[in-house]
Amino acid sequence: MNEASVGCTQALDTDACPARAAWVGMQMACGPALRRTFPLGVDGHLPFVPPARNQSTASAARIRLELARARHMLVRLDAAEALVVLQRVERQIALVPGQDVLALFSEVAAMRAASLVLQDDVTAALAAALSALRLHAHSPAAHVARSVCRYVYWHLGDMTQLEAPTSGETGEYPDRLRAATAVFDCSVDAMTELRQLHLNSAQALAEHALNMAQYIGDVSPSIDVLPASIIGQVLFERGRLEEAHALIAPRLPHLRRAGMVEGVLRCYSLLARIAAARGQTGHALALLIEAEELAIKSRWPRLRAASLAQQVAIHLGMGSAAEATGCARRLEAQIAACVPQGGMPSFEMARYLAITQARLALARPSGTFGVQQLQNVYRDCVSRHDYISAVEVALLLVEMQLQQQRQDEAFELLATLMLYAVAAGLLQTFVDCGDSVGELIEKLGRGEMPLPLTDAHSLRAYASLIDARRKRARHLSQPCGGVDANSNAHRGLSAATGLSNRERVIVGLMGQGMTNKQIAMHLRIAPETVKSHAKHLYTKLSVKNRAEAVTVAARLELPRFSEKEAADRVTRAHVGSL
């Protein structure tokens, strides 16, 4: 090492200690990628390149400009572009001396943490966020780091840590990033309440977040997806499927362009469950396949795992055991590839896998499955205060106990679950349960099962309500179910709007969240034909876009057709025009 190098190293050790400490902190937060970008010297120190005096001010200005760009990318939920910008900033900060270097490194680490959350890498996100707070707890982006910590602790089910780092966001929102952080914080609170089956509180908090999201809706149309998905899930669990669909379906186009995986996962899962409850299994599978493709494109393993697990359930409901097995194998391969990377908590992977294996075992009378594995997942959900997931797992346990002829244990567990359901207002999860559990609920409603005197009346009333909803769902899932009874009224409404049969079918499929390409494939017509019909029905309904068309169609109570009837009507209209 020459004398000049020794002098520079000594200067860094003595006069630039804050810069060196900041650099060490950034190494911890950003890992090998940063070291590859800006290699260390032979003795492990940051190579010191003294900037020219006339460039110092210009460099600081460029850093501030780049940080502003990164903030804008985060508000738009564009994680990839934000990380590219932050990588450039990291190179520039090391060349700018001054007392703000710790705050700059902290700000970069905080925004890197937010970008990693958008990419669903919660482990790396937590490390970066904690590093940002250690470097400078009051940097301009410290609120972002605290919000990331809260979300990750929520994700891990660590309620103690969740309450510790509060964001402290109150009053007005001086910039869009703070507004986005406030929306995010409020959504985390809403998800916490939803997990604990406090549906009223969850909906109130999510509605507040949705109102705050309007502040930045012009820059980030996807910012309201997460709170909207929470409200939609509450509505769904209360059995208000139409309202949940009307809230979520118009936001589907935004999800395909940008969004946070948590909101995207909830929206696709919810729309698929609504479609399955309506008997539209083909549309439900199309949504889940689209979600899987989006997960592969965006590198979101959790979304893919959730999509595959739900595809297994729908295939089994359709009696397609071979397709369900294929999806289960893809899920196992996805989990095997993802767990060693540490990007997704193992407990969530274990839940998807255990639920899938239990469903496959239930579909095969000769199949074997370790009930203990499912019980462990149930206990894990309870320990993390995720009671809404615990109910889903417990209903599978009831079904397995019934299959094993353990009637008393099954009824005792079901009665306990329904006591929670009565208090929380949980409905649709029980409506969607397996047939064997549904039969037990029906017996409970008819008073054929012994119950504690103090809870007998409320449990039987709730069981009767669930049984009635299950029978109604089976009726609506039949072809043409619920359409012919009001045919005269529907014909009058159609005449008033002037919509043709094909236009009525297309606007109905739009209401299910289908794109023009999906509608074209579904009806076996050209995408250009779909666009042409869409323009005509927009004109007839006096609307500007598909969201308004769906809203007006719902208001006019235009009939919904089953998938088979929709295709038959289009075919008849085509033949009649020849």
Tokens describing residue 358 = 């239990």
DSSP state of 459: H
- Show Cβ contacts of residue 532 under 8 Å, excluding neighbours closer than 6 positions: none
Residue 335 and residue 356 in contact, taking contact as beta carbons nearer than 8 Å = no
The dihedrals phi and psi of 424, each to the nearest 5 degrees, come to: -90, -20
User: How many C-beta neighbours within 10 Å does residue 475 have?
Assistant: 11
Query: Is 205 strand, coil or helix?
Result: helix
User: For residue 476, what pLDDT is reported?
Assistant: 58
User: How many C-beta neighbours within 10 Å does residue 163 have?
Assistant: 11
Task: Give the predicted TM-score (pTM) of the model.
Answer: 0.72
Residue 306 and residue 349 in contact, taking contact as beta carbons nearer than 8 Å = no
Cα gap 31→17, rounded to integer Å: 21
Residue 110 and residue 148 in contact, taking contact as beta carbons nearer than 8 Å = yes
pLDDT tens track, the chain, 578 positions: 444 433 433 333 434 444 444 445 545 544 444 444 334 433 444 444 444 444 555 577 788 888 888 888 888 888 888 888 888 888 888 776 665 788 888 888 999 999 998 888 888 899 999 999 988 888 888 889 999 999 999 988 887 777 665 544 444 445 788 888 888 999 999 999 999 999 999 999 999 999 888 877 666 678 889 999 999 999 999 988 989 999 998 888 777 776 788 899 999 999 999 988 888 888 888 889 989 989 888 888 889 999 999 999 999 988 888 889 999 999 988 888 875 554 445 778 888 988 999 899 888 766 566 678 888 889 989 988 899 999 999 999 999 888 888 888 888 888 888 888 878 888 889 988 888 888 888 888 887 777 665 667 778 888 888 888 888 777 655 544 443 333 333 333 343 346 777 888 888 888 777 888 888 888 878 888 888 888 888 877 767 778 777 766 765 555 554 444 444 544 444 434 33
Cα gap 360→365, rounded to integer Å: 10
Mean pLDDT over the full length of the chain: 76
Residue 501 and residue 572 in contact, taking contact as beta carbons nearer than 8 Å = yes
DSSP state of 545: S
- DSSP H helices, 214-250, are 225-237, 241-248
- Count the alpha carbons within 13 Å of 223 in the hemisphere toward its beta carbon: 29
DSSP state of 258: S
| Amino acid in the structure at residue 462 | Y
How far, CA to CA in Å, does 147 sit from each of 31, 186, 283, 344, 386? 22, 10, 36, 19, 20
How far, CA to CA in Å, does 454 sit from each of 451, 458, 460? 8, 9, 12
Cα gap 509→518, rounded to integer Å: 9
The dihedrals phi and psi of 225, each to the nearest 5 degrees, come to: -65, -45
Instruction: Report the Cα–Cα distance between both ends of the chain, in Å, rounded.
Output: 88
Tokens describing residue 384 = 């993390």
User: For residue 301, what pLDDT is reported?
Assistant: 87
The beta strands (E) that lie in 426-562 are given as none
**Tokens 């707890």, located at residue:** 137
How far, CA to CA in Å, does 201 sit from each of 151, 153, 206? 18, 20, 8
Pick the closest to residue 240 from 274, 282, 210, 285 (CA basis): 274
Residue 260 and residue 225 in contact, taking contact as beta carbons nearer than 8 Å = yes
User: For residue 200, what pLDDT is reported?
Assistant: 92
Residues in the chain: 578
